[in-house]
Amino acid sequence: MSETKTITILIVDDHAIVRQGLRALFTIQPDCRVIGEASSGEDAVTLAAELVPDIILMDLIMPGIGGVETTRRIKDVSPSSQVIILTSFHDDEHIFPALRAGALSYALKDIEPSQLVETVRKAILGESIMHPRVAARVVQEIRTTQPATWDPFAALSERELEVLRLIAGGLTNAEIAEHLFISEKTVKGHVSNILGKLHMLDRTKAAVFAWEQGLVSRETE
């Protein structure tokens, strides 16, 4: 009978107590071995490139680069590593960027220990496991997206489109407020809505997306 392969795991979380708890959980699993811990995204990328773990348990909110960008960089330096997001956040602006960055599974920190272990074992087989709330959002997104006629900005109001064009043009919130004769607080509200509807974490990515999708062009700059 062939020997069961040991699953190697890298834990990425800025809270020591979380890392210790996860290490304790997987230490008692006969087929798992924690080979590293990182408290920041930068350290995680370095360790992933050095250790090439099978599984990376990834927090999303950390000092420095967050979990989404860390996931993206890890998939560049260690593409065989499967990233499992383990977070407290299940809103659109975290779920979809994380999945686009290359995460395989998305679990919340209220997950039962046995379920997390099973998620890790499934990930080795390339099988994705989502928290039910996350899975529901992904399914809803798929059902409401029509690729042939899909407009990435359909959810945005005219004012939000206008604000996004100005963001893409490099204007700050204060400059946008002055340009549109509205308060900076109102602009911040529009920006927050835009990021949520586009499932993006920051205005820079939203600006790049606007350029890529042709919302703005050099001719109308």
Q: What is the CATH number of the domain that holds 12?
A: 3.40.50.2300
- The count of structural domains within the chain is 2
Q: Are residues 29 and 90 in the same domain?
A: yes
Contact 46, 56 (CB under 8 A): no
pLDDT for the residue 92: 77
Q: Encode pLDDT of 163-221 as tens digits.
A: 999 999 889 999 999 999 988 888 888 888 888 778 887 888 888 888 888 887 643 44
Statement to judge: residues 182 and 108 lie in one domain:
no
Instruction: Give the pLDDT confidence of 87-113 residue by residue, as tens digits.
Output: 998 877 788 888 888 899 999 999 999
Structural domain for 118, as ranges: 7-143
For 73-83, how does the pLDDT look when each residue is reduced to its tens digit (9 = 90+)? 998 889 889 99
DSSP state of 218: G
Query: Rounded CA gap, 30 and 32, in Å?
Result: 6
